């Protein structure tokens, strides 16, 4: 398995090994991995004397995938015993969780197994369990459990979900010829909300929009 590291989400979406900023190849492929899907509900108001309340759907959280990566420097696996797993773990952490000064955040990742891309997202959690030690306490075997959470650009997420409800938050990129009233008509079915949207986005001249700019359209209930 290859873990490809990228500086941004778009590069992770479209890039390969030659495009990656960095990469890590697992010495041993994970035996299993876990996919988790979580739906968020809010508890409905429960009347006095009742035994339950109807849950109300709020949103679906991004899917998560969890792997266990084995680090073994005893030489049993590759016939090359080494003093410690510390250097391997340090390199592993540098790729997965190190803060990047140029982007001011850790990296985006693509997981590739064989020739197939199986997941794209961000690392949200890393825990390392040291399992075998030399007489002086030096660790020579460890298992790193890594949790990735799916992450896609806002525009692509909205496109995939194809939500057009005016009660949802939308982000749209300005195209040549777009005006704020026209964009409000597409989102809300009524251009009259352009003043509120201009205020939310700090737009002083709503008649002249710059192509490529992202415009935030809040739910109608928040613009009223």
Instruction: Output the domain CATH number for residue 115.
Output: 2.40.30
Whether this prediction's pTM lies above 0.85 is answered by no
For residues 169 and 127, membership in a common domain is answered with: no
Number of domains in the chain: 2
Residue 67: pLDDT band (50, 70, 90) is: very high
For residues 129 and 193, membership in a common domain is answered with: no
Q: What is the mean pLDDT of residues 64-77?
A: 89
Query: Looking at residue 186, which CATH number applies to its domain?
Result: 3.10.350
The last residue of one of the domains, among 152, 169, 186, is: 152
For residues 146 and 173, membership in a common domain is answered with: no
How much is the pLDDT for 46?
65
How much is the pLDDT for 222?
46
Domain extent at residue 45: 2-152
The last residue of one of the domains, among 107, 131, 152, is: 152
For residues 160 and 127, membership in a common domain is answered with: no
pLDDT tens digits along 112-164: 988 888 899 999 999 999 999 989 989 999 999 999 999 865 445 544 555 55
Helices H / strands E in the chain, number of each: 6, 11
Q: What is the mean pLDDT of residues 175-200?
A: 86
Do residues 209 and 180 touch, judged by C-beta distance below 8 A? yes
For residues 175 and 137, membership in a common domain is answered with: no
Instruction: State the residue for tokens 């773990």.
Output: 89
For residues 72 and 132, membership in a common domain is answered with: yes
For residues 216 and 148, membership in a common domain is answered with: no
Q: What Å distances lie between residue 143 and 88, 92, 95, 139, CA to CA?
A: 12, 12, 16, 11
């Amino acid at each position: 398995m290859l873990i490809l590291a990228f500086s941004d989400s778009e590069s992770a979406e479209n890039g390969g090994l030659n495009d990656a900023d960095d990469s890590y190849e697992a010495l041993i492929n994970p035996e299993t991995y876990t996919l988790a899907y979580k739906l968020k509900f809010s508890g409905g108001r429960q009347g006095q004397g009742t035994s339950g309340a109807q849950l109300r759907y709020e949103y679906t959280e991004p899917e998560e995938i969890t792997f266990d990566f084995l680090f073994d420097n005893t030489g049993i696996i590759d016939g090359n015993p080494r003093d410690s797993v510390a250097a391997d773990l340090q390199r592993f952490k540098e790729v997965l969780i190190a803060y990047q000064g140029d982007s001011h955040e850790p990296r985006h990742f693509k997981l590739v197994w064989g020739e197939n891309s199986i997941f794209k997202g961000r690392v949200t959690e890393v825990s390392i369990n040291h399992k075998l030690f030399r007489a002086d306490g030096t660790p020579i075997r460890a298992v790193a459990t890594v949790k990735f959470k799916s992450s896609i650009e806002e525009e692509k997420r909205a496109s995939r979900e194809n939500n057009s409800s005016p009660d949802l938050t939308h982000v749209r990129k300005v195209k040549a010829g777009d005006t704020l009233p026209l964009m409000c008509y597409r989102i809300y079915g009524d251009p009259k909300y352009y003043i509120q949207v201009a205020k939310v986005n700090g737009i002083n001249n709503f008649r002249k929009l710059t192509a490529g700019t992202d415009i935030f359209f809040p739910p109608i209930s928040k613009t009223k």
